[in-house]
Structure formats: structure tokens, C-alpha cells
């Protein structure tokens, strides 16, 4: 299994590949992933130009451990196959498929990725895939999309197109996204992949953004797509476990490890009933805390 399938992805920042000033050093903002965009952000007549920039950026810029995901053009275009060749040859970490509607879409991309890996001498299976769901059909097919490929690490909601398809608009309240978000997180968890929320486009409303992130975190999402580096610290802050949560998780892991050896199955930590079902969650909290730089322990 590709070890990067489960890596930390709280913040995935969109960057227009056609803008050298944007892609030269986004790592200073420390997002978990960058989404190098060949699709919507790039003007139709600059689609070719964006690829050369992408290829050399992937080859020559040290992104300092930030995951490099390339958003290719839609499968309904005549651009996506060359996009994949360019991205895979350049050595990207993953491909993001826009407007995914079926498992078949993913398999088409997978085949193209595999062919490119062979052509350009990249390790087979090294390029991961994520799928953006942007329509009612895509959301309804979420589970089969999640389980369509070994390379699939997660699905992301794309709220703009999705609400158009629903014949509504983004209201800022999240009401119109509720069903999709709920369906997608359930599908992703059932399939054992990650789930990412849509962008929040109003940069003048940082409080609204904060509420939005809080909501999707509570729903179980792994992270959020973002459009401006200013949003990164807020996402990371909300996804970072509190000191209280970390201490509790540490105790849970420790207690389960010792009690298991003594053959005890159920016991209490800080007055709460604890059993083995809490183990994975506590481990995840500690891993997240460690990745966020607030936990220096060794559990």
C-alpha cells in the first residue's frame, strides 16, 4: 500500500499553474497539500502554457514535503490525457479528477496514470488519485467512486458546481450542502478513504469561514480545500487537538495497553467508560497532534 494514502491533509490549497508567482514558494504557508490547477483557474488559451510551468515546477522546485496534487482538466475535454502525462512525468504526488460522476471515470484516469508511470519510468502505483464530486450524480455514486481504485485516497466536494446542479446557490449557511456532505463523509468512511470539503470563497468573512471549518470538522471531514493562504492557519487551528484532548488520548492509549495485558476489557479514564473501541480514535488524535506540532510525546 502506498504509505501516502493516509497522510495528513487538513488544508489543500488551490494554485493556478499559469501564475509563476503563486507556484514558486507556497510551502512557506505550510499547507498540507497544494492543488496545482490546470483546470478552471487556467484560461482556455493558456492551457498549454500552464503545463510547461507545472512540469518544471514539479521537477525543480523543492516543495519541502508539501503534497503536490495536480487538478487535471475534465474527462469531457481533450486536455486531460496530456495533463496526466505532464503531471506524472514531472513527478506529482497525486491527480485530482474534476467532475467525477462514476467509478468508470476513475478507472479511465487510473489507466492513463499507469500508462504514464510506465512511459516516464516512475514507480508503478506511486501516483495517487482523488476525485472531486461536483454533481448530484457524483454524490449519489460516492461509495462506488471511493472504492474504484487502489490509488484512491479521498473524495472532495466541489460546492459551486454541485449547487448549480441542485438548482440552488451557495447561501453561506451550509444548508444546501448538508446532504452532499453527509453522504460523502459516510461513503468515504465506509470505503476507508479521506473526505474533503469544498472551498469557502468569501475572503472578507473570516468568521464565516471559521464556522464552516468547525462544522465540517465536527461532521468528520479530514480537511478542506482552500483558495487563499490566509485560510490555512484557521483550518490548522481548528483541526489541531486541544491540550485536554491530547492528555485524554494519551491516557486512553496508555490504559488500554496496560489493561489489555492484565486481561481487563472495560475500565474508566477520568470518569469515562473506556474500552478497546476508543483505541483507534485516541491514536488518531495523537497522530494529528503530532503532525500539528503540539504533541512531542512518543505514543
Site of interaction with another protein (CB under 8 A): 19-21, 24-25, 28-29, 47-49, 51-53, 55-57, 59-62, 82, 85-86, 89-90, 120-121, 203, 228-230, 232
Strands 94-97 and 67-71: parallel
Is the alpha carbon torsion for 213, 93, 194, 187 positive or negative? positive
Q: What angle do CA 94, 97, 98 make, to 5 degrees?
A: 140
Contact between 18 and 43 (Cβ < 8 Å): yes
Min CB(133)–another protein separation in Å? 28
Min CB(288)–another protein separation in Å? 19
DSSP at 125: T
CB-wise, 53 or 149, nearer to another protein? 53
CB-wise, 54 or 193, nearer to another protein? 54
In degrees to the nearest 10, what's the CA dihedral of 179, 181, 187, 193?
A: 170
Min CB(53)–another protein separation in Å? 4
Q: Give the three-class secondary structure for 37.
A: strand
CB-wise, 206 or 264, nearer to another protein? 206
Residue with C-alpha cell 489507466? 111
Min CB(59)–another protein separation in Å? 7
CB-wise, 264 or 294, nearer to another protein? 294
CB-wise, 55 or 221, nearer to another protein? 55
Element (H, E) at 156: strand 152-157
Q: Give the three-class secondary structure for 71.
A: strand
Min CB(38)–another protein separation in Å? 13
What's the rounded Cα separation, in Å, for the pair 257 and 296? 20
Contact between 153 and 194 (Cβ < 8 Å): yes
CB-wise, 162 or 209, nearer to another protein? 209
Min CB(204)–another protein separation in Å? 9
Element (H, E) at 150: none
Residue 29 φ/ψ region, left for φ over 0, alpha for ψ in the -120 to 50 degree band, beta for the rest: alpha
Q: Give the three-class secondary structure for 41.
A: coil
CB-wise, 3 or 21, nearer to another protein? 21
Min CB(30)–another protein separation in Å? 9
Amino acid at each position: 500500500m502506498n504509505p501516502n494514502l493516509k497522510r495528513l491533509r487538513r488544508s489543500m490549497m488551490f494554485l493556478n499553474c499559469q501564475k509563476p508567482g503563486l507556484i514558486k514558494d507556497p510551502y512557506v504557508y505550510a499547507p498540507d497539500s497544494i492543488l496545482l490547477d490546470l483546470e478552471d483557474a487556467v484560461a482556455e488559451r493558456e492551457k498549454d502554457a500552464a503545463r510547461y510551468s507545472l512540469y518544471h515546477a514539479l521537477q525543480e522546485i523543492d516543495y519541502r514535503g508539501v503534497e503536490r496534487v495536480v487538478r487535471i482538466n475534465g474527462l469531457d475535454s481533450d486536455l486531460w490525457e496530456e495533463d496526466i502525462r505532464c503531471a506524472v512525468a514531472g513527478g506529482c504526488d497525486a491527480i485530482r479528477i474534476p467532475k467525477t460522476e462514476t467509478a468508470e471515470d476513475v478507472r479511465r484516469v487510473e489507466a492513463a496514470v499507469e500508462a504514464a508511470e510506465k512511459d516516464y519510468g516512475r514507480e508503478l502505483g506511486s501516483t495517487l488519485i482523488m476525485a472531486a464530486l461536483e454533481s448530484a450524480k457524483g454524490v449519489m455514486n460516492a461509495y462506488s467512486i471511493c472504492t474504484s481504485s487502489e490509488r484512491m485516497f479521498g473524495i472532495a466536494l466541489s460546492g459551486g458546481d454541485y449547487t448549480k446542479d441542485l438548482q440552488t446557490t451557495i447561501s453561506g449557511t451550509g444548508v444546501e450542502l448538508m446532504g452532499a456532505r453527509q453522504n460523502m463523509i459516510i461513503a468515504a468512511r465506509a470505503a476507508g478513504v479521506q473526505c474533503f470539503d469544498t472551498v469557502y470563497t468569501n475572503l472578507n468573512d473570516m468568521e464565516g469561514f471559521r464556522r464552516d471549518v468547525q462544522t465540517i470538522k465536527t461532521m468528520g471531514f479530514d480537511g478542506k480545500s482552500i483558495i487563499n493562504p490566509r485560510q490555512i492557519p484557521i483550518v490548522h487551528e481548528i483541526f489541531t487537538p486541544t491540550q485536554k484532548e491530547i492528555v485524554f488520548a494519551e491516557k486512553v492509549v496508555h490504559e488500554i495497553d496496560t489493561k489489555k495485558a492484565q486481561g481487563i476489557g472495560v475500565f474508566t479514564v477520568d470518569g469515562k467508560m473506556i474500552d478497546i473501541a476508543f483505541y483507534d480514535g485516541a491514536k488518531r488524535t495523537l497522530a494529528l497532534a503530532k503532525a500539528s506540532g503540539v504533541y512531542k510525546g512518543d505514543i
